[in-house]
Copies of this chain bind each other. A is one copy, B any other.
Amino acid sequence: MDAVGIEQMRKEDSLRVSTGIHGLDTLLNGGFPKGHAILLSGTPGTGKSIACFQYLFEGLKNGEKGLYLSSDEPIENLLKEAAAFGFDFSESMKNGQMKFLYLPMEAQDVYRDIETELKHERYERIVLDSLTPISERPRWMVSNGQEHIPSTTAMTSTTIPLGSTQAIRSHVRYLLTLFKQQDSTVILTSEVTEESKNLSRDTISEFLVDGILFLTLDTTMDRRKVTIRKMRRTKHTLKPHDFSITDQGLMIHL
């Protein structure tokens, strides 16, 4: 890599992707670093999906293409939920600027649909909502190095323990590589249970992503908080900030 390469790097580094979440761009020196993968973690009902709508809608306003990969919720439900917050994706879906894709978790190969989609189209903004069901899937690899999709004979030929941290790493790495090939800026939502203090259910993905936004609730104080736990190439505070869920989505109190 020559000096030009480094210059190019520094320049790219200064590129920021506006988040669409009111107040967040201010905390992040202009937005997410372009091409980064951000984990959006939180317990149930913290507003993860709404933040994703805001992020993609912001892109549409800028003429960017957006892809919503849903592993839990049927697309119809998502659209209703978005509409309730005034995010109308119908026009952009028709003109191909926006795409919602449901990932059937029961299918053997969870990646086929994503790979096909990314082969035909480049998206500036991608949301994977949520990462958790994928990272929890078992993954097998056989001796010749080729990936091996679980089959009815899997129990005898597997070499990587089912549900192991290795399987999780393998899934998250594969997904991140896929998204980075497009230079997409990605939000991956992640489940965190009430009892846990960790940043994801799998406790692995937070080490592999470029940034982490952590959403929490304080029921006794009736407050919602967001913490920037990690954001590469960005100087940021670690302090939790209050936010509200309004008619226009998440709004951070600065």
Contact = CB atoms under 8 A, between A and B. Distances in A.
Interface of A: 1-3, 5-6, 9-10, 12-13, 44-45, 72-74, 77, 79-81, 83-84, 88, 90, 93-94, 105-108, 130, 132-133, 136-138, 141-143, 145, 149-152, 154-166, 169-170, 173, 177, 180, 191, 193-199, 203, 206-208, 212, 217-220, 222-224, 227, 229-233, 235, 237-240, 245
Given A137-B166, A170-B105, A212 B10 contact: no
A108 B145 contact: yes
Given A6-B90, A159-B154, A191-B207, A170 B81 contact: no
Contact of A151 (B3, B159, B227): B159
Contacts of A108: 143, 145, 159
A3 B159 contact: no
Residue of A1, A218, A222 with highest tally of chain B CB at under 10 A: A1
Given A141-B106, A152-B159, A207-B130, A83 B6 contact: yes
8 contacts: A72-B169, A72-B208, A81-B233, A84-B233, A132-B207, A142-B152, A193-B203, A218-B238
Given A142-B152, A143-B149, A224-B238, 12 more contacts: A2-B90, A6-B90, A9-B83, A10-B83, A44-B206, A44-B229, A72-B208, A73-B208, A84-B232, A106-B170, A143-B152, A152-B159
B180 A77 contact: yes
A3 B165 CA distance: 46
A212 B44 contact: yes
In the A-B complex, list the 5 residue pairs whose CB atoms are closest, starting with the nearest: A45-B230, A84-B233, A150-B159, A9-B83, A44-B206
A74 B177 contact: yes
Contacts of A83: 6, 9-10, 13
Contacts of A231: 45
B219 A238 contact: yes
Nearest to A174: B106
Given A163-B161, A230-B45, A238-B217, A84 B143 contact: no
